[in-house]
Amino acid sequence: MKPPAKAELRRHSIAAELIAVLVAATNGQPRVMTIDSGNALPSGPFELGHRSLQSGLRDWVEQQTRHPLGYIEQLYTFADRDRAGDDAHRVISISYLALAREGQAESADKATWRNWYDYFPWEDHRDGTPPALPEIIVPQLNTWAKAADNTLIRSERQQRTAVAFGLDGHSWNEELVLQRYELLYEAALVEEAHRGRVKNPTPSVFGPAMAADHRRILATGIARLRAKIKYRPVVFELMPPTFTLLQLQRSVEALAGRLVHKPNFRRLVEQQELVEETGAMTADMRGRPAKLFRFRHDVLAERAVAGTKLPVSRA
Amino acid sequence: MKPPAKAELRRHSIAAELIAVLVAATNGQPRVMTIDSGNALPSGPFELGHRSLQSGLRDWVEQQTRHPLGYIEQLYTFADRDRAGDDAHRVISISYLALAREGQAESADKATWRNWYDYFPWEDHRDGTPPALPEIIVPQLNTWAKAADNTLIRSERQQRTAVAFGLDGHSWNEELVLQRYELLYEAALVEEAHRGRVKNPTPSVFGPAMAADHRRILATGIARLRAKIKYRPVVFELMPPTFTLLQLQRSVEALAGRLVHKPNFRRLVEQQELVEETGAMTADMRGRPAKLFRFRHDVLAERAVAGTKLPVSRA
DNA sequence: ATATATATACTCATTTGGAGCATATCTCCT
DNA sequence: AGGAGATATGCTCCAAATGAGTATATATAT
């Protein structure tokens, strides 16, 4: 079979949308760029004038947020009919993960940086397991699991819940952000599962919904970033030119949503030769002044795609 | 900024194409499904009638190859204008990696399974480094690198070549399939770089071109699969229901393009409890009969997305 | 019988990864 | 002035994972 002719291709035309999960890490908190008062991610249609998907994305984000993009990586392409929102005009959503340092310049469209745990309160385990997990979320998921009429579906739901939320024997895996969100969606605990129906008046424990499936895309981005910081030195895209090892550690912890062992973190960073001293020290800090480091940009060339791992302990 | 209205979205309509890298492993060789006498990957337009991207892909592949798809995972979405082929009517290509067991049923469209090393001869290191690498490919890349007028570009080209092909100090990394292909493309050593111009009459060392950018997509799929077999038990999607440990090892080696240490391979497979004995033994083989195993499907549920690693040694 | 090919088991050294302890040097508060 | 609290930095210890080698068992082919 030959590729279809041009005329035939056009007949199947469909709109394509570009969506960005733009992440920063500021003062030890993970941040995500939103528009529309925190209700949506920056996005816009892919147009014939765009040179490439990436440049189209840059255009839209910089126009909507006046914030430049640094590192960019493709996340996923969605086209689910049932999740699109109200009616079914077909749109393909091509999502990207973008990393940057938080700047000022919030502009039109009510572009604002938000703490991403506003949208996923159950994902932040830096101060231990959030109380809402054992007290509210897990019980409600269990109720949902037991509500299945079929024994098979019931045990499958319980199995998935246990793996995703680290129950009976399983340990918490911070990378399963998307699986957890999908479970909450299936269990209709999250507001966007009721789209079109009753508006849930209690945002509290489950966080606020976002437009269309933007919260799912955000979950995808967080999951990808949490996985990636372990084997690629992407954190440095989020750091200022010069930083202390503790600041670096705090950024990693912010993204991972869990604490790491300080001595081991330092050991790994130094033995991997990811950073070099600037010679300067911090001042105006509370404790003992710390050495300032900068990222060794040449390692990007040297090891390039190869393995460069930062620790995020598993227990 | 609100999401654009429906009418506005339609104005930016663009065609979307689904492309599959369908992989099997047969008799210790990696196989890829092609159509048009090995000239293209199975593909077809995404249509309004398709329930989802995945189901659209299944429809096209099964229609073109009469071969059912098993495991499916999204690879990447392309829209580069310059790589599209001849003229510039805009198409978005959404590519997938699919795994299956090689079946009979080759049908219309000249659908055939091919050894993927036909297209990437330099990627098979199971019998040691292919002679063409040091003798032809690397020298030609060095010539290309030196031909840059700018010193910076020159050293950047040499650096990239060294990392990708494991030269001076760097070791061969089997995952860098795409980087290697891209270098060969940039250096115009690969036929498709001459598209529209002179047809290179010597396919030999650099393998044959494919339609449009299908060879690049194949490289993307191989790279993804080589990375994935190390931390997810996907090889089993390619195995028959029952197999010996050596057959399993040969499949891993076929995909990775390098040999693994047999005792260590067995140790890992067994201690991870990925397989269980069937009780039966092989017959009709040359050496000592081997136990037959089957994959323990419950580990997919248990550990799900968690880490399950198969070894492909690094040295 | 012997060569050859495969299966299977075991050992050893090194590296990696998680966790704890000890000490040093600041600021801030009383 | 002195102590509390916070941060920085260095070192040790142990257990698990990993890479590599060796030895033995059981089949087929000639």
CATH of the domain at B67: 3.90.79.10
For chain B, list residues with pLDDT below 70.
1-13, 81-89, 104-109, 196-203, 302-315
Give the pLDDT of residue B86: 44
Joined tokens for residue A77: 């392409």
The gap between B264 CA and C13 C1' (Å) is 15
Give the pLDDT of residue B304: 54
Residues of chain B neighbouring A183 (CB-CB closer than 8 A): none
Give the pLDDT of residue A47: 85
Query: Is-contact A218 A210, C-beta < 8 A?
Result: yes
Joined tokens for residue A162: 């246990």
Q: Is the CB of A286 under 7 A from strand C?
A: yes
Chain-chain contact of B14 with A14 (C-beta, under 8 angstroms): yes
CA pair distance B181, B215, nearest whole angstrom? 9
Residue in A closest to B162 by C-alpha: A302
Q: Is the CB of A291 under 7 A from strand D?
A: yes
Each residue of A20-60: pLDDT tens digit? 999 999 999 999 999 998 999 999 999 887 888 999 999 98
Chain-chain contact of A64 with B1 (C-beta, under 8 angstroms): yes
Residue B312 lies in a domain: no
Give the pLDDT of residue A256: 94
Query: Is-contact A51 A73, C-beta < 8 A?
Result: no
B24 and B98 part of one domain: yes
A72 touches B: beta carbon within 8 Å = no
B103 and B153 part of one domain: no
DSSP code, position B153: H
Q: Is the CB of B3 under 7 A from strand C?
A: no
A113 and A28 part of one domain: yes
B70 touches A: beta carbon within 8 Å = no
Between residues 156 and 175 of chain A, which touch chain B (CB distance below 8 Å)? 156, 159-160, 163-164, 173, 175
Residue B160 lies in a domain: yes
Give the pLDDT of residue B90: 77
A200 and A273 part of one domain: no
Residue A25 lies in a domain: yes
CA pair distance B18, B184, nearest whole angstrom? 26
Give the pLDDT of residue A202: 58
Residues A283/A287/A289/A294 CA torsion (nearest 10 deg):
-90
Between residues 76 and 135 of chain A, which touch chain B (CB distance below 8 Å)? 76-81, 89-92, 94, 108-109
Give the pLDDT of residue B109: 67
Domain boundary among B153, B175, B209: B209
β-bridge pairing B275-281 and A71-78: unpaired
Domain boundary among B103, B118, B133: B118
A62 touches B: beta carbon within 8 Å = no
Q: Is the CB of A261 under 7 A from strand C?
A: yes
Domain containing residue A290: CATH number: 1.10.10.10
What DSSP assignment string belongs to A158-183? HHHHHHHHT-TTPPP-TTTHHHHHHH
Residue B276 lies in a domain: yes
B315 touches A: beta carbon within 8 Å = no
Residue A159 lies in a domain: yes
Q: Is the CB of A84 under 7 A from strand D?
A: no
B303 touches A: beta carbon within 8 Å = yes
A87 and A140 part of one domain: no
Nearest to B9 among A91, A163, A173 (CB): A91
Domain boundary among B118, B136, B158: B118
Domain that holds residue B77: 13-118
Per DSSP, the three-state class of A249 is helix
Residues 6 or more apart in contact with residue A41 via CB below 8 angstroms: A19, A20, A21, A22, A32, A33, A34, A35, A210, A214, A217, A218
Residues of chain B neighbouring A156 (CB-CB closer than 8 A): 301
A112 and A149 part of one domain: no
CA pair distance A41, A221, nearest whole angstrom? 12
Query: Is-contact B77 B94, C-beta < 8 A?
Result: yes
Give the pLDDT of residue A306: 45
Residues of chain A neighbouring B76 (CB-CB closer than 8 A): 74
The gap between A67 CA and D8 C1' (Å) is 35
- Beta strand residue intervals within chain B, DSSP E: 15-26, 29-34, 43-45, 71-78, 91-99, 112-115, 275-281, 291-295
Count of structural domains, chain B: 3
Each residue of B212-239: pLDDT tens digit? 999 999 999 999 999 999 888 899 999 9
Q: Is the CB of B311 under 7 A from strand D?
A: yes
**AA letter at B97:** L
List C-alpha distances in Å: B289 to A148, B22, B56, B89, B249.
47, 32, 44, 58, 16
β-bridge pairing B29-34 and B43-45: unpaired
Give the pLDDT of residue B129: 93
For chain A, list residues with pLDDT below 50.
1-11, 85-88, 305-308, 313-315
Q: Please provide the distance, in angstroms rounded to a whole number, between the alpha carbons at the two ends of chain A.
A: 53
